[in-house]
Amino acid sequence: MDKEKIDRILIVNVNWIGDVLFSTPAIRALRKRFPEAHIACMVVPRCKDVLELNPYLNELILYDEKGENKGLIGKLKLISALRARRFDCVFLFHRSLTRTLMVALSGIKERVGTDNPKRGFLLTKKIKPQPSDIHKVEQFLNIVKVVTDADDGKSMELFTGKEDEDFALEFLKSNGIAGNDRFIILNPGGNWNPKRWPSENFAVLGDMLYEKYKAPIIITGAEKDTELGNKISGMMKHKPVISAGKTTLRQLAAIMKRASLVVSNDSGPMHIAVSQGAKTIAIFGPTDPKITGPYGEGAYTVIQKSSGKPGCKIPCYDVRCEEALCMKAVTVEDVMREAEKLLKWKT
């Protein structure tokens, strides 16, 4: 690969909010190595907000695999669009055979990605897989090291705009929270149930935090988490503000950056909080924080405990687990102790 002739770069990104955030240090490293290049990123629509205002990217290309690019005709349409852009090289953060085949058919001569038996023959530069317990931030950085040793930090970034900042200020104001007021965010959602700390624990924690610090509580989440937020609110003595379903990802980021503390399950919003420099407590159970936990600079802590049940090991990644004993093993007192360490407010 002739590094000096790379003028147009495509990045094929991954499918989940947290994982896309994990890719941002690698994107930043590519921009530092190629300051004048046109860098585009292919991403699924649900993750668009994460990268839309990223200053290191010139272009976002949406891969709507459930809509416009569904089926053979939709994929051929995207292949044609990629071919017209005449990219010199592509960095495949996603390990999909379909995506690799699409960029090969689009005529991109240099194709860099992690080697695997299914699509290795389509890569022109095969990156040796890293050990499975290496954090995903490092895995993405390892892919781009073929062209750059630039190390511009390993912290994640999600950029917000003026409209997002204005929304955050107005949302807080409309709920009785002035610009300099302290407040605490609870994020009880998660993309599968075994990753969720019990809702009654969030309710008790919210009341304890409010009573100790007199700080309003905001419950965040996607639209699908609205019912969960209402359930937790119904169990609390001190009623929280519920923003679930009322914000975009960037609006959520703008709110989180103003929070005094964020307590969250392992989820995309947890990583958004870390990307905004918010003090964050991440509650982990069946997943491995060494691979997908908070990363880079920041004031954050991870709480994870064994269930104590024989044969029940963490991480297990068992999406069908109905007991979620590892999450239940984390007590409200455990979280409160970490909150007090991070906050250190005078009461």
Residue spans of the domains in the chain: they are: 3-144, 162-343
Q: How many CB atoms lie within 10 A of CB 144?
A: 24
The predicted structure's pLDDT at residue 5: 78
pLDDT classification of 101: cutoffs 50, 70, 90: very high
Average pLDDT of the chain?
95
Fold of the domain built from segment(s) 3-144: Rossmann fold (3.40.50)
Torsion of CA 119, 120, 121, 125, to 10 degrees: 130
On the 0-12 / 13-18 / 19+ scale of CB atoms within 10 A, 176 is: exposed
Per-residue model confidence as pLDDT tens digits over 283-293: 999 999 999 99
Bin 230: left if φ > 0, else alpha if -120 < ψ < 50, else beta: alpha
**Mean pLDDT, rounded, for 211-217:** 96
Between residues 345 and 140, which one has the greater pLDDT?
140
Encode pLDDT of 32-52 as tens digits.
Answer: 999 999 999 999 999 999 999
pLDDT digits (tens, 9 = 90+) for 241-293: 999 999 999 999 999 999 999 999 999 999 999 999 999 999 999 999 999 99
Instruction: Tell me what pLDDT residue 308 has.
Output: 84
Question: In the predicted model, what is the mean pLDDT of residues 154-176?
Answer: 97
Average pLDDT over residues 193-222: 97
- At residue 3 the predicted structure's pLDDT band, cuts being 50, 70 and 90, is low
Alpha helices in 276-312 (DSSP H): 289-292
Residue 230 has pLDDT above 90, yes or no: yes
Identical topology for domains 3-144 and 162-343: yes
β strands within the chain, DSSP E: 8-12, 38-43, 59-62, 89-92, 110-114, 125-127, 184-187, 217-219, 241-242, 261-265, 280-283, 300-303
What's the pLDDT score for residue 288?
Answer: 97
How much is the average pLDDT of 3-7?
Answer: 80
Answer with the residue of higher pLDDT: 167 or 149. Answer: 167
pLDDT band at 2 (very low <50, low <70, confident <90, very high): low
Q: SS3 of 152, please?
A: coil
State which CATH number among 1.10.150.20, 3.30.2400.10, 3.40.50.2000, 3.40.50.300 fits the domain covering 162-343: 3.40.50.2000
Residues whose CB falls within 8 Å of the CB of residue 66, separated by 6 or more in sequence, listed in order:
none
Q: Is the pLDDT of residue 150 over 90?
A: no
Give the residue-averaged pLDDT of 118-131. Answer: 94
Q: Residue 345 pLDDT > 60, yes or no?
A: no
